[in-house]
Structures are given as C-alpha cells and as structure tokens.
Structure 1
Amino acid sequence: MQWSGELQSGYLLRRYKRFLADVVLDDGTEVTVHCPNTGAMTGCAEPDSRVWLSVSDNPKRKYSMTWELLETEAGDKVCIHSALANTLADEALADDRIRPLVGYPSWQREKKLPTGSRIDLYAAATADLPECYVEVKSVTLDCGGGLGAFPDAVSKRASRHIEDLLALRDCGARVVLLFAVLHEGIARVTSAADIDPDYARNLRAAVAAGLDVFAYKAEISNAHMTLGSALPVSV
C-alpha cells in the first residue's frame, strides 16, 4: 500500500473526543487532525510523540489532515489508522503472502451476510478449497517484551464477529481471524484477557470449534506499508 502523497510530520499535543488530535507541525503550525482510530490507543497517543499525517484536498472535509503513523519512545513505528488493516490484508491475500490461504483466485471485501453483518474478506469455493471468510483485526497494543494483544478496550463487537464466523463454520465454510499487526515492536500476539476476558474466552472456544487464527506483521515506512511476516499467536 502506497500513501497517496507525501506525509507531513510533527509532534502530538493530544488526542481527544476519540476522533480528533492536535499536532504541531515541523514548521511550528498547530493543527487539528482527524484520528481514524476508535480504540483506546494505549501507548500510541503519548504527548510529544513523533507523528505523520496524510493530507486530503477534499474541500468537503472539515479537517484536511489525517493522523496515520506514530513513533514510540522505543523508536518503533505504529500505524494508528486501523481501517487500513483491511487494505493491507486484501493486498497480501492477492499477492499470496498469507501462506495458509494461498490458492483462492480472488477475494471480495465487505461480504454481506444474511444476518445483515459484514465480513471483511470472502473467497468463493474452488474445486479444492471451501469458501472462506476472513475477519481482520488491527493490533497496536504493545504489552512489552515483544508481546502484542487484542483488543485494547472491551469490545462486544469483536465477540459478535467471532459468533458470525462460527455460524459460517457450522455451514461448512472455512473461517479465519487475521491479526494485522501494525506495530513494529510486536513479535507475537495474544488475546488481551486482562482487558476483555469475555473476548479471550470466546476466542479460545472458537479456536477449539475450528476457527483459524493467524497474525501477520506490517512493514511500515513513510512511503508505503506491506503486510509481510507471520507471527506466532497464542489464545
């Protein structure tokens, strides 16, 4: 994934109201920017952190800049734009970089289910493979020692997604939960049982019932991002 233009850099003043942040650009200008992350952003919204912003020329936007990247105190880059996890996963699947899912000729984004819910990615059955549904989750919570966890806040929605996947599994489909790790300092992934014990319990039960869980880490730069290497997952 290439950024649409050159990213602007600065330093974070504060994040507030979930979707807003104040940033001082390198030239000293203070701006309010869109924060495209609904999570707690634990460890990823510290004041004075180095940040990078994309710029939109859409005149209808109230805030022309979007916060995309952050550098942690340890020097690791983090993508805080959680919705980009789906784009990265889609590209990785198309390029056969998610090895356990190689073999499907094409993938559809935002597959609508009869229940009205949507699954992030879907591949139709082939002669050799069952139809496959993939739910993508962005991981940025660094617990230290290279351990990353999901979610970073209690998420009933994430548990509902597991229920949707299991219902599809009962109908004979292959179901996958893909953790897209958007933090350079994370080397392995687990469920955040201390934050959302219900989600951790539901995930363990789903794995026992046939849910596949994989984690892949993004390579992050000011020019592009790519979902590349597989990481170990424990649930």
Structure 2
Amino acid sequence: MDNYTIIRDTLVVGKVLELIIEDGPHCGLHLNVNKTDVFLPKKDPRSKLAGVFSPNIAQPLHGAKLLGEPASVDFNFSSELVRKRVAKTIVLIDTIAKINDPLWDIYGDHNVSYAGIIGIKHRHNVVRDTLVDICFRSRILAGKEVDISLGGGCDKSLRLADMLLYSWDEGLDVCVDLIGSSPLTQTGVVDFVPSHAVIDAAHRKRVKYEAKCANIGYGFLPFSFSSLRE
C-alpha cells in the first residue's frame, strides 16, 4: 500500500489515523507521518485539540496534493500547482527535442534498425533491398549503391546513389535516393501534421541533389518513407 486517502469528519479521521499508527505495524503497515497531510476545506477548531492528530502530521491551510493533483477549494493554490506541472512538462519536452535521436544516422535521414525475421538491420536498407528485388522480378534494370561520382572528387558530402534505374526516364538513368524519417522527431508536438516529415525530407533531397544530378546527365528521384509507414 502506497497511498491512502481518508475523507470523513475531523474526529473520525483522527481516530482512523490513530488506529493505523498503533495497530498498523502488527500488520506490516507503517504510516510515515512526515508525509501525511490533514487538509480541512473549512476550519475546524477540533483539529487542534490534543490527541486528535499527531503533532508531526502537517495541516496545510490552502490545500494538499492528492496523487499529484490539487485537493483544495483555493483557486490560487490549485492553479499554481497545475502551472508548475505544465512548466515542468514543457521543460521535459524541450529537453527531449535536444537529445541526439539514436534512430538517425549522421545525415539525419535514416532509421538505424529494423527488427523482424531478418534480424536487426537498417530500415533504410530493408526498403532499398525490397525495391531492388521488385525491380529484378519486374525485369527492370536497377543497380544498388552505384558510384556515379556525383559532383566529382571535391564534394565529400555527396554519397553513392542508393539505387540507379537504368534507362528509366525516356532513356535517362535515374538516381533514387531513399530517405527514412520519423515524424516523432519534429521539434514541436503541437505542429505535428501527418506526412509532413515525409514531404519535407523529399524536398530537402531534391534541393540538394536534383540539379547536381542533372548537370552530369542523370535524373533524380527521392523515395521518402516514415517509421509510421507513410
């Protein structure tokens, strides 16, 4: 037993507490009087009589916390308690947003792991391998992690194409870049919009790679998906 609430007449509550203090230890029940409060919504002089309540039991004037919630008839007491809880929650949410999410790689795009019958594997790689397999079964020529030397040797930030679809767009080879994202990593919970993360991720990739691919004669196609299966 962790929390117990007694709501009765002042003297009845006093008798119940006395019973718990005296007989409780025989049953393994030990009352922590230092964490016990007696709150009276209306003043009752009997609460101050000798022997009614242990002197170690606090008697707050404006209210008490009952399982973390306000038990009070004082609006200011209740609102202040709620305000503190909301402020604490906001701090926690902001702190979580600053934590490095272990679901992302160094580029901020790929979910790290996928657990299933294939074991632990990059979710990004599972989707890529599935698409390559679909292409193979559909007799579509596709390469996996093809080095197209995008941007030459001076641009170290650019990587291999996840997939290369040969002669896909009117004879044009098309680079496919897979982006796995998690909508839950958006900084504002209030701003959550379905598919928003997927669309933003695809847009970022287009801005970063589309023109550079075109400059060396390739098409570009982002394939964006989320951990919510969007």
For normalisation by structure 1, the TM-score amounts to 0.35
Higher relative contact order (CA 8 A, sep 6+): 1
Higher strand share: 1
Higher helix share: 2
